[in-house]
Structure 1
């Protein structure tokens, strides 16, 4: 059996980057898998070490890597995450799916996850859930049956997605927000913390409140 750990770097040296570092440690505690090499970020941190791991340079420097390297994009802002992923063109870079050992979810239930997806502690995904590329489910999110969550979405802690929901590309779900059964949320829409979405939302809007109402439309 091959027990060699795979080298992985974290893109994003802020708070979410440190949380992803914690996630990797927790995965390793259950099944030793990752050799964490350090952090990349366009903004150099105040100190060259982040939680004991080195700052290795700006994001574009990853395109010069001459060996296989796994990369976790730890960026919550959906547009920024999209832009960073578009810049990483090196074919030697791989984007693993990272799932905390506590997550309740089974592939045999028809669940599908795109590359680079990160699923944090205590999330629950039921059946026939589809997550796109580079989706973040932060702590204790729940996703119901037949939900589809598009590429580059970021759902913050305790977001509840009901069954048959359709979420477009780059949607940001604020902490403790809820999207009710059968609702559709357009691309790059922002849902405020604690909001309850009970009807469809268009692309590029911001919606807050209970029930959620649109307070800003940017396209």
Structure 2
């Protein structure tokens, strides 16, 4: 599992260089998260240097920071860099990570300082996870690599989310639910207790999964059903 960078636990002699891959709206939201982590720490943990994206933004700057280039440019970095991958799509985020191959790149787990994360909760978060403001994780929860929890998501006891899962704002995962690799939950989607969702499945905004869903489908409605 990755080291977690929690302001009250960690201090560094100097802020670590960090860039964001993804120059869209989510990237700007992750920049806010970085500022919030720094503000909660006794000294800034991160030196936020700018944005990378394979599609150049319309302006030379994003949220007041420079656009620095593509994945190829990031792979060519001459110094160690920490990278936050701010791509909302599960498949898109996995594709970006597969292209970032330089041994000089590191992927910290970033968790909003207001999210409870005491040792007795037994939260296991792998590298590259991003957990935004307002999320609630209760106890004995596992997040795989590069899991995204957007604003206000809730995860119940013993929930397990595999690599590259994406939860949009206010998505809810019940106790002992299992989300396999690359599952995407839309805004306000819910997976109730004990339900398993197969790899790559999309649960649409507001949908409620009340029984297991197979891999590779899109499910909508209450209860959630596959659409053609």
Higher relative contact order (CA 8 A, sep 6+): 2
Secondary structure of residue in 2 paired with 1:56? strand
Distance (Å, rounded) in 2 between the aligned partners of 1:78 and 1:60:
21
Matching residue of 1:189: 201
Matching residue of 2:22: 12
User: Any residues of structure 2 matched to 1:36-51 within 5 Å, and which?
Assistant: 36-51=48-63
Distance (Å, rounded) in 2 between the aligned partners of 1:76 and 1:107:
28
1:165 and 2:198 aligned: no
Please, what TM-score do these two structures have when normalized by structure 2? 0.93
Distance (Å, rounded) in 2 between the aligned partners of 1:97 and 1:164:
23
Matching residue of 1:61: 73
Gapped regions of structure 2 (runs ≥ 5) = 1-10
User: Any residues of structure 2 matched to 1:57-136 within 5 Å, and which?
Assistant: 57-136=69-148
Gapped regions of structure 1 (runs ≥ 5) = none
Distance (Å, rounded) in 2 between the aligned partners of 1:208 and 1:105:
32
Matched-pair contact (CA < 8 Å) for 1:104–1:122: no
Please, what TM-score do these two structures have when normalized by structure 1? 0.96
Find 1:30's aligned residue among 40, 55, 65: 40
Secondary structure of residue in 2 paired with 1:81? helix
Deviation at 1:108, TM superposition (A): 3.0
Secondary structure of residue in 2 paired with 1:86? helix
Deviation at 1:60, TM superposition (A): 1.8
Distance (Å, rounded) in 2 between the aligned partners of 1:106 and 1:83:
33
In the alignment of these two chains, the number of paired residues is 216
User: RMSD between aligned alpha carbons?
Assistant: 0.9
Distance (Å, rounded) in 2 between the aligned partners of 1:2 and 1:39:
23
Deviation at 1:65, TM superposition (A): 1.0
Distance (Å, rounded) in 2 between the aligned partners of 1:119 and 1:60:
27
Matched-pair contact (CA < 8 Å) for 2:12–2:45: no
